[in-house]
Structure 1
Amino acid sequence: MRLLRLWPDETRFDFMRLRHFSFPFSAAISIAIVVTFLTVGLNYGIDFTGGTLIEMRAKDGKADVGPIREAASGFGFGEVEVQEYGTQGGVSLRFRIQPGGEAAQTAVVEKTRDAFGSDYEFERVETVGPRVSGELVQAGTIGVILSVLAVLAYLWFRFERELAVAAIIGTLHDIVLTVGFYVLTQHEFNMTSIAAILTIVGYSLNETVVVFDRTRELLRRYKQMPTVELLNLSINTTMSRTAITSMTTILALVALVIFGGRAIEGFAQVMLAGVFICTYSAIFISSPSLIYIGLRSRQRAGAGEAALAQPAE
């Protein structure tokens, strides 16, 4: 039985030639992301800004989210996030923190009870104050930093120096572009976003390790092959696996975007963008970086030192 091949084995596409376009493109995008991040910023959710969470369930088991969102938006408490959860008419409302202290947050709850109390049972009311949200920001930031540092340390010990540096460049590139997706689309950035970023870092690591493992194998097999040719061979021989992995992941994420509902739609969209970013980065950023880092120069230097160390006959 012939295995599925989305990328023919005999293909010899010159990926390295495109580095002259991918590097300037990624540099321009990264600069634009940094500028937009500093000027516009992220759209922080209640987890980070504070606010009030109300969960209620329809007494007849059928919730109509549209009228609820319209009514809640007219309360005068600013933007409100309304989502349906579960299968028994559950609805959650998230209001941003209101000026005026505890009395202002109580007014949000009372207004919501007056509007929906006749048709809905209130199951949960939770207020996140500025102090708690600040602690979540601090904990989330520390968690991301420690996780990224752990991944970078793994890459450093997993590969030789040149491969490790290129893998680190690719991983940081993926993080920047993922944050840029949040900045440009203004998707709400909350604790779920932290999970999405860490998941994308793991996917990026997986893509890079697959390509670089083949690169290291080819380095031992073809000691005299030029670096550009070797990197092209490495990518072409792993492209079938990359294509299958990416396509299956994309199909699953597209299904989540379409059928997952508002509760998971944002996470799925970010993950979908992350798959494209990580695949692009492994091929057009991490691998070409090895050319500029000098992948073959160290190997040739090592071979020359070994030759000099041999006794003359």
Structure 2
Amino acid sequence: MKVTTIPFMAMRKIVAVFSILLILISIGSLATKGLQFGLDFTGGTLIEVAYEKAPDLDEIRTVLAENNYSDVVVQSFGSPTDIVVRLANSYTATLGDEVLTTLQEGGKQAVTLMRSEFVGAQVGEELREQGGLGMLLALAIVMLYVAVRFQFKFSIASVAALAHDVIITLGFFSLFEVEFDLTVLAALLAVVGYSLNDTIVVCDRVRENFRIMRDTEPYDLINDSINQTLGRTLITSLTTLFVLLVLFFAGGEAIHNFSMALLVGIVIGTYSSIFVAANLLLALKVTKEDLMPPVKEEFEDEMP
């Protein structure tokens, strides 16, 4: 594959401003609007019903709204005939039967109740806290791994790039008020792994080039390293995006937000692997001396 000669590092200042702007918008939205937590985190009731034929979801939402059921989410689950109804912060022992009766009276076909479950607010709060701690733990382990595998400056650049990806993805969900549930949290953790993989590839090439291209300045060396790995990065990202687009448009409501989080995260992760991590390495003034093994001092006994 022919190596490109795109001057990525010449665009580093523009890219830095763009990334900072995205992060500020994301943090601002998270601070003012927060995340629209789903039933997994807020608590509420999940009711699964089965129809004989695929129903109209908008019609189900209208029927429930007319019968004073508020904060309702209606989704297909597994197949077009299986429907999940989520009601936030509400539960009674007979709620499943009440919703079933409402759907039977307001619909045009038979409906069967499959299950009715309640998630308490306390459980939702614990899931939210544990999810956040899991994300921080993942970033800490990544930083430790990269520091041991490469060098401390590489670990700072890698973790900063991962934090950049997570913050912007969260900001997207906050800004556009998309529901944040456990599937989105799982997607975020997957984005961390995906983005890390791309970043490690670039870092590994930078390290190799520092040992081979001894007379090359860090600015040119990092730029060459990105160009050398660009083909692999784009092919991996595009093939992943094709699969995610299929899931997003044809996977149904159950994985809609999951695939959306992965789409946003992988686009941002690819961008950060090419620009952000390398830009930070240059800002941290990484040199070939940083990657050289420490010289052991030899002591010789002096004869009188």
In structure 1, what residue type is equivalent to 2:123? V
The corresponding residue for 1:202 is 193
Match of 1:22 among 9, 15, 18: 15
In structure 2, what residue type is equivalent to 1:199? A
Of all paired residues, the percent bearing the same amino acid is 33
Shift of 1:260: 0.9
Is 1:247 aligned to residue 234 of structure 2?
A: no
Separation (CA, whole Å) in 1 of partners of 2:59 and 2:153: 58
The alignment partner of 2:287 has SS state of helix
Could you list the runs of 5+ residues in structure 1 that have no partner in the other structure? none
**Normalised TM-score (structure 1):** 0.87
Q: Given the superposition, is the C-alpha separation of residues 162 and 138 from structure 1 closer, same or farther in structure 2, using an over 3 Å criterion? A: closer
The alignment partner of 1:162 has SS state of helix
Matches within 5 A, 1:43-192: 43-58=36-51, 60-87=52-79, 89-98=81-90, 105-106=92-93, 108-117=95-104, 119-192=110-183
Q: In the TM superposition, what whole-angstrom CA distance separates every residue of 1:240-281 from its partner, at most 9, and x where no partner exists?
A: 111110110111111111111111111111111111101110
Shift of 1:40: 0.5
Shift of 1:64: 3.2
In structure 2, what residue type is equivalent to 1:80? V
Is 1:213 aligned to residue 204 of structure 2?
A: yes
Q: Given the superposition, is the C-alpha separation of residues 88 and 44 from structure 1 closer, same or farther in structure 2, using an over 3 Å criterion? A: closer
CA contact (8 A) 2:144 2:155 kept: no
Runs of 4+ in 1 over 4 A off after TM superposition: 297-300
Paired positions, count? 295
Separation (CA, whole Å) in 2 of partners of 1:172 and 1:18: 21
Deviates more, 1:107-116 or 1:178-187: 107-116
In structure 1, what residue type is equivalent to 2:248? V
Shift of 1:110: 4.5
Shift of 1:162: 1.9
Separation (CA, whole Å) in 1 of partners of 2:175 and 2:168: 10
Shift of 1:106: 4.5
The corresponding residue for 2:252 is 261
Q: Given the superposition, is the C-alpha separation of residues 75 and 298 from structure 1 closer, same or farther in structure 2, using an over 3 Å criterion? A: farther
In structure 2, what residue type is equivalent to 1:115? T
Shift of 1:297: 7.3
Could you list the runs of 5+ residues in structure 2 that have no partner in the other structure? 299-304
Shift of 1:177: 1.1
